[in-house]
Each structure stands twice: as C-alpha cells, then as structure tokens.
C-alpha cells in the first residue's frame, strides 16, 4: 500500500488529533478488474494515493467529515465520489469514450481530433457492432454526415449498399476511394469485428494527398490491432431472421378480374369479358376444383418463406507483450434464402451465402526503434444462387392465371374431385402448373428449376510494414515502408440446371375420354417422368479477378517545441493493378504534408499530392493537387474562456484545395490508331483526345465545431462547395459532317455545394445512467455547368447545362443529350371526354386513346406532342437530402439505441412491372392501378385501364414495335415517383452481465446478450416496392428487415 503526500506540503510530523484512513477499491467498469496505479485525491487538498496491484487505496485523513475524492486514470473518465472516512469506497471507472475518439484517421496517418482542420467524420467499431445490418456498407448508413448509402437489393452475397460522399460529383462515376489499412481495397465484405474505425474524408484538405483519386471523397478503414495486455478473447454468436420490406401487396383475383373487365371494355374486347359467374368463382370458388380453375394465387406467399435466416459468429483474440502484439479474428456469416428454392443432391436452387473472414494482425518490436507489422486478412465466400432474375415473374404474374401447382388430392382416387390422368393412372403427388399466356412463367417453377450457380470467392489482403524511428538522426523522424498485395478471384464451382415437367389441366376434359392432363417440358412423351441427371458443369474463373501490388515508403516527422507543434510527411507510393485480362493499371504518387499548430489554438495544414496514372496523355500523366487549411480554436483563447464560459469548445476551420478523379471509362484516350472490323476491313479509330487528363475538383469547406456545457451539447457544421472541370465527356456538338467522332474529351464542368450538420446531446446524470440524442443532416445540390450540349439551336430546357447530375434513364429512345426526360401531364392530367380528346394534341392516334388516358403537355407549345416536349422532369434518383436521428441510453448493464435514417427528394423510375397494367396480356394489376381514373375519380393516381393483348398499351409503351408510332413515356409523378423515405434503420438493446462468479468459474469477464434489428419500419410515399431500390424495371430481390439475437462472451 502506497501512501504519499502530493507536493509534500503537509507539514512533516504535524500529527492530527484524530488521524483516520479512507480506504477503497477502483475497478474497471467494463470488466470489473482491479485498476492499478489510479490517482485518488481528496478534493481541495493535495492529499492522495495511488491504487495498488489489487486496486486498493488508503488515504490518511484528519477528520471524519465526508470528503470528495477525485479519481482519475489515463484512458478513463475521471470521477468524483463522496466518501466517508472509515467506510470502504468502491469506484468503477469507465473507459473514456472520447479519449478513444480523439485520434482521427486521416490519409496516410492519424491526427488528434482537436488539431484536425479537414472535414472528416468517423465511426468506431462499437457503432458498427450495434447495427443490425448484415453488411458493413449498410451498417454505416445514417451514421456519417454527408454519406449516402443506397441498398438497391438484398440478394444474399450481393447485398452491399452503394456509397456516395456528399452526393453525386460526376457523370463519370461518383464512387469514393476506399482504403483498408492504407491500401485501395474493397471493405464491404469485412467482418465488423475486425474493423477499428471507418473514417470519411470529405474536403480537399483531407483528400488532396490522394491526388487524382480523391475527388469523390475517401473512406479510410483501419482494422484492429493488439494492445499491450493479457490475452483477451471475445466470442460472439448471433442468429436472426429476415423478412422482406414492402413487397408488392397482394391484389386478389376478384379485384384483378373486375378491373380487367374495365380494361377490356376500353379495348372494346366485349367477347373477352369475364362473366359474372366466373367473377363469383374467383371471389368464392364453389368447389375445390373450381378453386384451381379460378385461382387466386398470392405468388409472394407461395414463393417465399415467411422468414429468411441469418447468423454470424466471431472469435477474436488480442493482446500483446513488449515484443509482440497480436489481433486474431475468425468470423462467419450466413445469409439464407427468402424464396422457396430447394436443394436435392447437387441440385440447389436456393439463394444463400456463407462468408468466412479471417485476419491476423501482428506487430513486432524488433529493436527498440524498429517495428515490423504483418497483416493477413481475407474473405472466403461461398455463394449459391439461381440464375439472375429468377424472381422476375413474381412481379409480373397475375393471381388469376394458373395455380402455383396442382395439389396431390387431384390425383387421389378417393377424393370426390379426383381427376384421372389417363396416361398416369397411378401418379401421385402434386404437379407443377404450366404457365400459359405469352410472357410470364410460373413463378414457382422459375424459382425452383432452371440454372443455378455455386461460386467460391476468395479475397486476400497481405501487408508487410516496417517502421524505423530515426531519432538518432533527428528527433521525431521515422521511416516507414510498406508492401501490400491484394488479390481476389471467384471460382464458379458448379453451374447446373434442372427441369421438372409442368402440367396443364384442361377442366373441360374432365370426365371425358380425352385426357384432361397435358404435360409440357421437358418433353411430352408418355414415358413416366424421371428427373434427369442434374446437368452439372464446372465453371472456372468468373468475375473480375485481380491481383494488385502496392508499395510505399515515407518519412514522418513530428515534434513539439514548447507551444509549437510541427509535423511533416513525405511519401512515395506505387500501385499496379492486374485486373482480369486488362492491360495492367499503374498509379504512382508523391505526397507531402506539413502541419503546424501554435498552442493548439492556431492550426495550419498544407497538403500536396503529385500523382500520376498511365491512362493519360504523356504530357498530362501527372497532376499536382495542393490544398491548405487553417483552423482557429477560439475556445483556447483566454478572452473567450472568460467571456463565454459555457462554450467549452469552439473551433473554426477552412480548407481550400484541388483534388482529382482519374476514373475513365476508356483508356488510351490519347491514342488513335486503326483497327480491323469483323469483316477484316481496317477502320479509323475515334479521333484521339491528345490532352487526356484527370478530372479536376476545386473544393472549399468551412467548418465550425462547438462544444457547449462541458460537451453535453456538441455541434459540427460544415458548408462546402466544389467546382469540377476537365471532366471527360463524349462530345455531343460533333456534327454529322465529320463522318467520325472524337474520343472522350476533358471538357465537362459541374458545380456543387451543400451543408452538413452533426449535433449531439449527451448527458450522464448519474454514474450508471447516460443518454444521448443525436442528429445528422446533409444537403447538397449540383448543377452541370458544361456538358457540350449540342450547338446553337438547342432549346434551353433540353440542355444539360444548368440541370442536376443524374442517372441516365432513357438514353436509348430519348433525344441524345437528354438524360432524365419525360413528360408532364396537363391540367387535370386526363382526357375527360371525347371532345377533350379531339381538342387536344396527342402523341398517338386519336383512335387509340381512351377517355381517362394521360393527357400530355405540349411543352414547347408547337401544336404537337413529340420528342421535343420531353424535358427533365422533377426529381432526382439520388436524394439531395439525407438525415438521421438517433437516441439511446445506458443504464447499469443495459444499453439501448435506436436510429432513424431517411432522405428527401429521391425519385425512382417506376415502370413496367409497377406502373403498366395487364402488360402483354398478363393478368396483373399493381397497387398504382387500384386508383384508376373514372369520371367519379377524376383526381386519380393512374389513367384508365388498358388491355393490350400481346404488346403494351400505346400510351404507356416502353419500346419496340408500335412504340415507333407513339411516344416514349416517362410521366412525371407516374412513371417517375417520389421515393423519399424515413426508416427505422437500427435498433439495439443489450444487457451486460458482469459477475465475479462467472469470472471466477469460467474466466468470463463479461457476458453480453443483445437484440438488434434493421430496417424494421419504413415510411414512404411510394405506393409499393422498397424506396431504396433503384431499378424497378422487372422487380428485384427485396430488401430485408432483420431481427437478430446474439451473445458476446469476453474472456
């Protein structure tokens, strides 16, 4: 037991009249372990003590009066407790969370948060672990300001979300650069347990060091490493179930067929009308046999499981000695099938994905000044899936066409509705129903037969890092070297297909001499059907395999001279990407950074990237990307401290600089030669862009960081703008007279600006209770400044300049140069009478119009509705506003958090499978059509109904054939609909059992049980379908809501 007097001001030997001691113990709040060397001080005095090896302390005090003890320990939140001498005080110190966050990962290094001047947002592993999502990319959704995530579908193994930093930046791709442990790599398949931090670098100051790769923002991921400690082992296991979000609601046969009659009457198909008798049977079949004849099939119900399983497990061990530190992790994740796919022997029509992650991160202190680190990380992925789009028919098949299958009782002679199969008198078991009609298959069959693929993917990341302190040359100087290899391949292990026979039951033949059963596929012979041997093929390399090499070397310098803090970095790197059979991609760069701060008050940072790539013209291979940032920590100024004591932190920062993007769809733009066509003739290549270079982005960012009331309230605001030029574009002003075109030219210009907020209120009213409310908001907008809009006579409304960047929606049939184009509806939106049809211009033959059809706006008022009336209609496919709100608390062992995330202004092209009824003769309605136009429903959401036999209604056409005579329609607010949404993204509840008994008996220091959920609730104006989806063309694998229960055991 160590007792001492701080500052030795206590008069020696001045014995107090009633000397007594104050004793107690300090433990780790998380683990319950004793903490050694904690400073315990009596408040207002200099008397104190350090805890001993068992965490105990003892302080001699002079009175029996209650005193306040100040307990502090590096890395832990300091506490004050009241203590009465003579009693035992037990204090549990919690790890200081802000302490961990104080280091921010930046490009090629880390910085203290207080001295960061760039716009950077970061999450740590804890946040990721608490998210319920199955992938990292979804797990960070809503947690980082200025980052947009879009999960377009959720097929197991292909369910990653796309990420965008500060919205779209370029029509040449806006995907941010992603680095894992400092090397350009994909992070989406990593196990959250392996990840230490994910940091998003947004402004020029933070990204200029990445030069021609940084313009779309940079995501820097670091993995966990070992610390100096005893071996610590965590084991996590979780199991959960998934349920599809917002699949199209079931519309029953009766409704469908009643509305079909409306369409048929419009079509004047009087002889095709469904009789009242049949409608009655659809509504309420009189016999079980009629239930098959007049089916009412809820296909999603027939073809999906109510729940799809997910599970994951992880075991990791970390620790270290003075010589070696280690972090070892093994992870597993399983995502199961939502559909009814089956497995029988080789034949496996299920969607599922097994993922195995492994990682070993080692650090060796070879000498006192030399550290050698080695990282081995990898993913093995086993994915099974039917051929893509096997769910398609689910979205297009009506409920009244045919049953999913014929049940076994049909063939059971004891059943009164027994239907004898004259060829197969003894056949038993149910039979698949053959589809009929031109365009749709039996969704059940397409999900359970056909072709499937089993792929084994392997990703391997290897790093070898050597760090040598060069203090003997110059104090604070160090030399680093790194060699990294990243490789990926995907081996198609099995590809096979399987077929089953399908049947048509001719109801009118029942009881006659003609066989009522007719069989289709795989053949129609009368031999008893046996399942053919599965046609198994072994694939081979499949997908974009790569094998990349990266190496860098750098000099780091960091030192403080009194109040002057200086750091500098000089770095050289090279990268060679060997991707599939492409000519290798080469990149190299020189990076420099210098930072200076005076007294943590005045901050300055200069960055420069000098990067090159082989893609560009020899004279333009290298680009110089400088940036500068300044910061002023006002709250460190003495005058401020006195004037505004409640604001404990105020930092202003501004950055300005250049970054680039070297993404190019085609390479060798600077060359033009000749090539042979498929007839062996020599053809002239497109004319070269002899000045081919990278895109150039000038970014500015101004930020304010505030902490109020001792950081109970924190607020960060960033406003930014960007001007991008030298963007590659396909020249559109080239006239026909050239007889040739040009390769992409660096002519495009786009501007962008936006603002981001991050605000948090975090309070800890008592020792055991802490709660927070947090909000993140981001808004950005962009405008094309120049995209080589064709020439002089082009009307302004058709020019891209001045319009926001967006996705190409209708490139094939639209006017060249116009991206989202569509039509507006006039006035009421519908033709309401025969007169109305004759008094208005129409894009198609009058004879093909119905009362209640869409009435298009003659936008340029030239008396016709044609391609010139298309203009960019309202809405963006990438939302300009993203936001999230979260709240939570911890109380004793409980932890609860909830996060809502959403966006505003997202639109989707909501087409064929969702907006066109009875397309190509199918008997399918969609939710939008339930609100169809009638004279008594003039403000409906959809036109009157159409039946179109084998094609598609002219007024709703999407391409081909008759469309040539009509109009390609994307109708504002119909085919292009608002899909803004807010959804309950994450929900997390846990309880941590900390018991000495467990520890003693099993060595378990903590046992955490938790429940997590994601995407549990959504609000959106979109009628049907998940608003995160982007392609509604023929449906998609639905997004999944997940609920998961797990346990984490720490040893």
Partner 1 sequence: MKKRITILLILCMSLVLTTSCIKKFLDDYLNKAPEQGLTDDIVFTKLTNFKLFFDAVYSGTKYWSGSTSWQNYNIRCASFMYFGWWDQKYTIESTTDASDQGRYMEAQAWKSGQMSETIVNKLTYDGARRPILESMFTDIRISNIALKNVNRIQDATDADKNDLRAQAYFVRAYCHFMLFKLWGPMPYITTIIGPDDQWDIPRLTAHETCIKIAQDFDTAYFYFNLAGTVRRDPIAAGGGHNDYNVYELYRPNGMAALAQESRALLYAASPENSGTPDDWKNAAQASWDALQVALAYGKVLLPLANRSQNFYGTMICDEAIWTWCPGTKAWDDGGGGNNFASWFNGPFLNNTANTSGVDPSQNWVDKYETIWGDPLNTQTDRDAAFALGHYNEQDPFANRDPRLETDIIHNQSTGIDGWGQVFATNATQHTLNRAEIWRKGAVNSELLNSANAGITQTGYYMKKWWAKNSCNNPISATYWTDPLNRLAELFLNYAEASNEAYGPTIIGVVGATLTAVDAINVIRTRAGMPNVQAAFTGTTDLFRPRIQNERNVELSWEGHYYCDVRRWNELQSVMSNTMIGMIAEKQAAITPAYPTGYMYVRRPLSADRQPMWKPQMYYLPFNIVDGLKMKNFVANPVW
In the complex, which residues of this chain contact partner 1 (CB under 8 A)? 574, 583-584, 586-588, 590, 612-614, 618, 621-622, 668, 671, 673-684, 687, 732-740, 742, 790-795, 798, 812-813, 815-817, 866-868, 963-966, 968
317 or 742: CB nearest partner 1: 742
User: CB 583 → partner 1: shortest distance, Å?
Assistant: 5
User: CB 840 → partner 1: shortest distance, Å?
Assistant: 18
Q: Is 263 helix (H, G, I), strand (E, B) or coil?
A: helix
| Residue 1041 near residue 1013, CB atoms below 8 Å | yes
CA 519 – CA 503 distance, rounded (Å) = 4
545 or 794: CB nearest partner 1: 794
CA 57 to chain centroid: 50
Q: Is 1005 helix (H, G, I), strand (E, B) or coil?
A: coil
615 or 752: CB nearest partner 1: 615
User: CB 790 → partner 1: shortest distance, Å?
Assistant: 4
User: CB 877 → partner 1: shortest distance, Å?
Assistant: 22
DSSP string, 135-178: SHHHHTTTTSTTEEEE-----TT--PPEEEESS---TT--PPEE
931 or 964: CB nearest partner 1: 964
Task: For the chain, report the end-to-end CA distance as a whole number of angstroms.
Answer: 29
User: CB 614 → partner 1: shortest distance, Å?
Assistant: 5
456 or 549: CB nearest partner 1: 549
How many other C-beta atoms are found inside a 10 Å radius of the C-beta of residue 999?
17
Length of the chain: 1051
How many other C-beta atoms are found inside a 10 Å radius of the C-beta of residue 472?
8
- Please list the alpha-helical segments (H only) found in 907-968: 912-915, 927-930
804 or 966: CB nearest partner 1: 966
How many other C-beta atoms are found inside a 10 Å radius of the C-beta of residue 554?
19
User: CB 682 → partner 1: shortest distance, Å?
Assistant: 4
User: CB 575 → partner 1: shortest distance, Å?
Assistant: 10
679 or 936: CB nearest partner 1: 679
Give the 3-state secondary structure of 805-838.
Answer: CCCCCCCCCCCCCCCCCEECEEEEEECCCHHHHH
User: CB 664 → partner 1: shortest distance, Å?
Assistant: 14
Measured N-to-C along each axis, helices 253-267 and 276-283 cross at an angle, to the nearest 10 degrees, of: 160
For the chain, the farthest-separated pair of C-alpha atoms sits apart, in whole angstroms, at 122
| Residue 944 near residue 850, CB atoms below 8 Å | yes
Q: Is 1022 helix (H, G, I), strand (E, B) or coil?
A: coil
User: CB 818 → partner 1: shortest distance, Å?
Assistant: 9
Question: What sign results for the dihedral spanned by CA atoms 161, 226, 363, 480?
Answer: positive
User: CB 620 → partner 1: shortest distance, Å?
Assistant: 11
Question: What sign results for the dihedral spanned by CA atoms 647, 648, 654, 659?
Answer: negative
User: CB 388 → partner 1: shortest distance, Å?
Assistant: 18
User: CB 451 → partner 1: shortest distance, Å?
Assistant: 22
User: CB 569 → partner 1: shortest distance, Å?
Assistant: 18
User: What b/e string do you get for 958-993 counting C-beta neighbours within 10 Å, with b at 16 or more?
Assistant: beeebbeebbbbbbbbbbbbbbbbbbbbbbbbbebe
- H/E stretch holding 853 reads none
CA 364 to chain centroid: 36
CA 47 – CA 16 distance, rounded (Å) = 14
275 or 950: CB nearest partner 1: 950
CA 349 – CA 340 distance, rounded (Å) = 8
43 or 838: CB nearest partner 1: 838
| DSSP single-letter state for residue 304 | B
User: CB 864 → partner 1: shortest distance, Å?
Assistant: 9
586 or 602: CB nearest partner 1: 586
Enumerate residues 6+ apart whose C-beta is below 8 A from 983: 900, 901, 902, 1015, 1016, 1017, 1018, 1019
| Residue 90 near residue 76, CB atoms below 8 Å | no
102 or 582: CB nearest partner 1: 582
Of 943, 954, 929, the C-alpha closest to 398 is 929
Which long-range contacts link 90-93 to residues 24+ away (Cβ below 8 Å)?
90/24, 90/25, 90/26, 90/27, 91/24, 91/25, 91/26, 91/27, 92/26, 92/27, 92/28, 92/29, 92/32, 92/767, 93/26, 93/27, 93/28, 93/29, 93/35, 93/38
CA 207 – CA 660 distance, rounded (Å) = 9
Q: Both tokens of residue 690?
A: 């002899």
682 or 1001: CB nearest partner 1: 682
User: CB 731 → partner 1: shortest distance, Å?
Assistant: 9
User: CB 617 → partner 1: shortest distance, Å?
Assistant: 11
489 or 551: CB nearest partner 1: 551
156 or 817: CB nearest partner 1: 817
546 or 813: CB nearest partner 1: 813
844 or 953: CB nearest partner 1: 844
User: CB 953 → partner 1: shortest distance, Å?
Assistant: 17
How many other C-beta atoms are found inside a 10 Å radius of the C-beta of residue 683?
10
Q: Is 739 helix (H, G, I), strand (E, B) or coil?
A: coil
323 or 674: CB nearest partner 1: 674
User: CB 101 → partner 1: shortest distance, Å?
Assistant: 38
155 or 552: CB nearest partner 1: 552
């Amino acid at each position: 037991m160590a007792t001492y007097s701080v500052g030795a001001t206590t008069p020696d030997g001045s014995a107090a009249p009633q000397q007594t001691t104050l004793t107690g113990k300090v433990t780790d709040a998380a683990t319950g372990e004793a903490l050694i060397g904690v400073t315990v001080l009596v408040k207002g005095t200099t008397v104190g003590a350090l805890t001993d090896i068992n965490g105990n302390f003892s302080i001699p005090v002079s009175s029996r009066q209650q005193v306040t003890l100040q307990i502090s320990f590096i890395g832990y939140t300091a506490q004050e407790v009241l203590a009465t001498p003579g009693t035992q005080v037990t204090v549990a110190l919690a790890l200081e969370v802000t302490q961990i966050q104080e280091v921010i990962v930046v490009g090629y290094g880390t910085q203290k948060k207080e001295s960061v001047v760039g716009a950077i947002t970061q999450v740590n592993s804890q946040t990721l672990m608490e998210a319920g999502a199955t992938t990292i990319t979804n797990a960070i959704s809503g947690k980082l300001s200025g980052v947009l995530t879009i999960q377009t579908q959720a097929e197991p193994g292909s369910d990653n979300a796309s990420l965008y930093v500060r919205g779209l930046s370029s029509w040449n791709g806006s995907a941010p650069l992603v680095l894992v442990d400092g090397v350009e790599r994909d992070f989406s398949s990593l196990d959250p347990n392996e990840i230490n931090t994910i940091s998003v670098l947004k402004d020029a100051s933070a990204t200029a060091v990445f030069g021609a790769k940084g313009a779309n923002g940079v995501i820097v991921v670091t993995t966990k490493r070992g610390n100096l400690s005893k071996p610590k082992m965590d084991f996590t296991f979780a199991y959960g179930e998934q349920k599809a979000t917002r699949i199209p609601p079931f519309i029953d046969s009766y409704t469908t067929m009643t509305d079909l009659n409306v369409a048929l009457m419009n079509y004047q198909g009087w002889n095709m009308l469904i009789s009242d008798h049949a409608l009655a049977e659809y509504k309420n079949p009189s016999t079980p046999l009629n239930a098959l004849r007049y089916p009412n099939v809820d296909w999603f119900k027939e073809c999906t499981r109510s729940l799809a399983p997910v599970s994951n497990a992880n075991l990791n061990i970390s620790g270290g000695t003075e010589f070696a530190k280690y972090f070892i992790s093994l992870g597993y994740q399983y995502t199961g099938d939502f559909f009814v796919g089956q497995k029988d022997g080789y034949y496996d029509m299920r969607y599922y994905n097994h993922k195995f992650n492994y990682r070993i991160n080692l650090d060796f202190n070879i000498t006192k000044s030399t550290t050698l680190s080695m990282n081995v990380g990898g993913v093995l992925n086993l994915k099974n899936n039917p051929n893509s789009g096997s769910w398609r028919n689910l979205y297009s098949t009506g409920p009244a066409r045919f049953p999913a299958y014929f049940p076994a009782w049909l063939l059971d002679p004891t059943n009164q509705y027994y239907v004898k199969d004259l060829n197969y008198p003894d056949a038993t078991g149910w039979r698949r129903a053959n589809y009929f009609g031109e365009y749709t298959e039996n969704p059940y069959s397409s999900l359970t037969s056909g072709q499937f693929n089993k792929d084994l993917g392997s990703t391997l990341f290897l790093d070898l890092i050597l760090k040598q302190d060069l203090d003997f040359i110059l104090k604070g100087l160090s030399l680093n070297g790194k060699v990294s290899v990243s490789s990926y391949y995907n081996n198609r292990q099995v590809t096979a297909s399987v077929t089953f026979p399908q049947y048509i039951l001719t109801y009118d033949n029942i009881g006659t001499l003609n066989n009522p059963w007719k069989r289709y596929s795989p053949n129609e012979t009368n031999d008893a059907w046996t399942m053919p041997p599965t046609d198994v093929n072994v694939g081979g390399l499949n997908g974009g395999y790569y094998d990349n090499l990266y190496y860098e070397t750098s000099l780091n310098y960091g030192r403080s001279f009194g109040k002057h803090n200086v750091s500098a970095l000089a770095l050289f790197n090279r990268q060679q990407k060997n991707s599939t059979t492409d000519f290798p991609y080469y990149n190299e760069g020189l990076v420099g950074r210098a930072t200076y701060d005076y007294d943590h008050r005045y901050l300055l940072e200069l960055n420069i990237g000098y990067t090159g790539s082989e893609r560009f013209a020899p004279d333009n291979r290298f680009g110089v990307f400088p940036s500068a940032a300044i910061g002023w920590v006002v709250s460190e100024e003495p005058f401020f401290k006195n004037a505004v004591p409640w604001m404990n932190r105020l930092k202003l920062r501004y950055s300005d600089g250049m970054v680039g993007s070297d993404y190019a769809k085609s390479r060798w733009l600077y060359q033009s030669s000749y090539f042979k066509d498929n007839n062996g003739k020599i053809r002239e290549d497109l004319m070269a862009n002899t000045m081919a270079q990278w895109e150039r982005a000038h970014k500015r960012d101004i930020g304010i960081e505030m902490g109020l009331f001792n950081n109970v309230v924190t607020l960060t605001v960033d406003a930014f703008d960007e001007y991008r030029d030298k963007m590659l574009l396909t020249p559109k002003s080239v006239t026909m007279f050239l007889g040739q075109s040009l390769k992409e030219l660096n002519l495009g210009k786009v501007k962008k600006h936006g603002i981001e907020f991050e605000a948090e209120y975090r309070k800890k009213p008592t020792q055991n209770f802490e709660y927070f409310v947090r909000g993140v908001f981001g808004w950005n907008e962009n405008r094309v400044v120049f995209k080589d809009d064709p020439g002089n006579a082009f009307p302004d409304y058709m020019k891209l300049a001045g319009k926001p960047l967006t996705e190409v929606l209708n490139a094939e049939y639209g006017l060249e140069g116009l991206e989202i184009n569509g039509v507006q509806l006039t006035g009421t939106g519908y033709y309401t009478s025969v007169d109305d049809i004759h008094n208005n211009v129409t894009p198609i033959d009058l004879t093909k119009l119905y009362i209640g059809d869409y009435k298009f706006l003659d936008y340029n008022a030239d008396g016709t509705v044609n391609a010139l009336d298309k203009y960019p209609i309202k809405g963006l496919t990438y939302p300009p506003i993203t936001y999230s709100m979260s709240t939570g608390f911890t109380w004793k062992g409980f932890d609860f958090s909830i996060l809502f995330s959403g966006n505003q202004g997202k639109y989707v092209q909501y087409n064929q499978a969702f907006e066109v009824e009875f397309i190509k003769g199918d008997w399918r309605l969609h939710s939008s059509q339930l609100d169809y136009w009638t004279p008594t429903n003039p403000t409906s959401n959809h036109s009157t109904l159409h039946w179109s036999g084998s094609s598609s209604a002219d007024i709703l056409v999407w391409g081909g054939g008759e469309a040539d005579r009509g109009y390609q329609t994307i109708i504002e607010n119909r085919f292009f609909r608002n899909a803004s949404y807010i959804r309950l993204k994450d929900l997390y509840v846990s309880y941590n059992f900390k018991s000495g008994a467990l520890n003693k008996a099993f060595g378990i220091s903590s046992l955490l049980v938790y429940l997590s959920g994601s995407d549990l609730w959504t609000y959106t104006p979109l009628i049907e379908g998940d608003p995160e989806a982007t392609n509604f063309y023929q449906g998609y694998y639905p997004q999944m809501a997940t609920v998961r229960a797990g346990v984490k055991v720490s040893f």
